[in-house]
Amino acid sequence: MTEVPPYERPVNMMFQSYALFPHMTVDANVGFGLRQEHLARAEIRKRVAEMLDLVRMAPYARRKPHQLSGGHRQRVALARALVKHPKLLLLDEPLGALDKKLREHTQFELVNIQERVGVTFVMGTHDQEEAMPMSTRIAVMDAGRILQVATPATVYEFPADRFVVEFIGSVNMFEGRVAEPTQEGLLVRSADACCELWLQHAQPVAVGTPVVVALRPEKVQLSVEPLVPGPNRITGVVTEIGYLGDVSIYHVRLPNGKVVQAQVTNWERLTQSPVTWDQQVYLSWEPSSGIALSV
């Protein structure tokens, strides 16, 4: 494509601001690119009608952008980008102008439309909650460098480095040194975690190697009953509680002052949490939950 003029490339773009022409109706906005190509009027009407049906905007064809909601404008911008049948569609923060509930609904609409039209979507976003459910592959970038390209599950569960693990989702980080490498995993001594950390690890690492152990909050089990001392078991005091409805977030301060996050699913209907502020609690997790990253 390097030698092909931009206006001849089979690529289209959906802008963050949608960039609809305010003086044009919905159907005129969608058909603008086709008119620029001097297609027959009958062909333009046919393709515009098909695209408006696809995004469920046919009843609004004669309205202008200022008469539409944010979600409707987003659909019009998508229809305009797809009507020329591009091979590649670039989306720049396509859901950034929508409120949270509409954004979540539109994510699945975009995925369904993409599957139906068969066009490759490349979406740029800084919002991991937007990227994760919409992607088949994610590329995490820092300062223009691609750090990891993988499926959403692989990026989240097996990040390539410290930047990726901190960028995607919440995480607890413990610094330490490898004390005992085996075929089954690693034993890491960590003053940061106030306990020994036992991890399942694919490759042996030399004794004394400094590592950072990453642990997602949802992997942490919280108990008010004392646990048998051992690896992956720590004690602390609850300093903050965040009730989000489906889950609760607990900030637990360890004896060394470090704060660890634990996310607990609210399986049962609660009017009052069984755990309260300044209460001593006990945290634990499975060896498969931690991730060892090089420093």
Q: How confident is the model at residue 83 (pLDDT cuts 50, 70, 90)?
A: very high
| Segment 76-85 mean pLDDT | 92
| Segment 20-30 mean pLDDT | 96
Query: Is 90 exceeded by the pLDDT of residue 93?
Result: no
Query: Is 80 exceeded by the pLDDT of residue 272?
Result: no
Other beta carbons less than 10 A from residue 271's beta carbon:
4
Opening angle at CA 260, ends 211 and 194, nearest 5: 60
| Segment 32-48 mean pLDDT | 94
Query: Is 90 exceeded by the pLDDT of residue 181?
Result: no
What ranges in 37-161 are assigned the alpha helix state H? 41-54, 70-82, 100-117, 128-134, 152-157
What is the rounded distance in angstroms from the CA atom of residue 221 to the CA atom of residue 217? 9
Looking only at Cα atoms, what is the longest distance across the chain?
Answer: 78
What ranges in the chain are assigned the alpha helix state H? 26-36, 41-54, 70-82, 100-117, 128-134, 152-157, 162-167
* pLDDT at res. 257: 96
Query: Is 80 exceeded by the pLDDT of residue 23?
Result: yes
* pLDDT at res. 7: 84
What is the rounded distance in angstroms from the CA atom of residue 83 to the CA atom of residue 95? 20
Query: Is 70 exceeded by the pLDDT of residue 75?
Result: yes
Ramachandran angles phi, psi of 196, nearest 5°: -85, 145
Which amino acid does the sequence have at 239? T
Q: How confident is the model at residue 295 (pLDDT cuts 50, 70, 90)?
A: confident
Q: How confident is the model at residue 109 (pLDDT cuts 50, 70, 90)?
A: confident
Q: How confident is the model at residue 202 (pLDDT cuts 50, 70, 90)?
A: low
Here the tokens at position 76 are 């019009």
Query: Is 80 exceeded by the pLDDT of residue 273?
Result: no
Domain coordinates in residue numbering, the chain: 6-136, 172-294
**Bridge pairing between strands 145-150 and 195-200:** unpaired
Average pLDDT for the chain = 91
pLDDT digits (tens, 9 = 90+) for 236-258: 999 999 999 899 999 999 999 99
What is the rounded distance in angstroms from the CA atom of residue 39 to the CA atom of residue 86? 16
| Segment 173-184 mean pLDDT | 87
Here the tokens at position 273 are 């949490």
* Strand, coil or helix: 44: helix
Torsion of CA 12, 16, 21, 23, to 10 degrees: 160
Query: Is 80 exceeded by the pLDDT of residue 43?
Result: yes
Q: How confident is the model at residue 288 (pLDDT cuts 50, 70, 90)?
A: very high
pLDDT digits (tens, 9 = 90+) for 211-220: 999 999 999 9
Opening angle at CA 124, ends 120 and 128, nearest 5: 110
User: What is 6-136's CATH number?
Assistant: 3.40.50.300
Query: Is 80 exceeded by the pLDDT of residue 167?
Result: yes
What is the rounded distance in angstroms from the CA atom of residue 34 to the CA atom of residue 163? 43
* pLDDT at res. 283: 97
Percent of the chain exceeding pLDDT 70 equals 99
| 277-281 own/partner pairs: CB under 8 Å, 24+ apart | 277/238, 277/239, 277/240, 277/241, 278/237, 278/238, 278/239, 279/224, 279/237, 279/238, 280/235, 280/236, 280/237, 281/222, 281/223, 281/224, 281/235, 281/236, 281/237, 281/238, 281/250, 281/252
| Superfamily of the domain at 172-294 | Nucleic acid-binding proteins (2.40.50.140)
Ramachandran angles phi, psi of 63, nearest 5°: -85, 160
Query: Is 80 exceeded by the pLDDT of residue 98?
Result: no
What is the rounded distance in angstroms from the CA atom of residue 253 to the CA atom of residue 281? 10
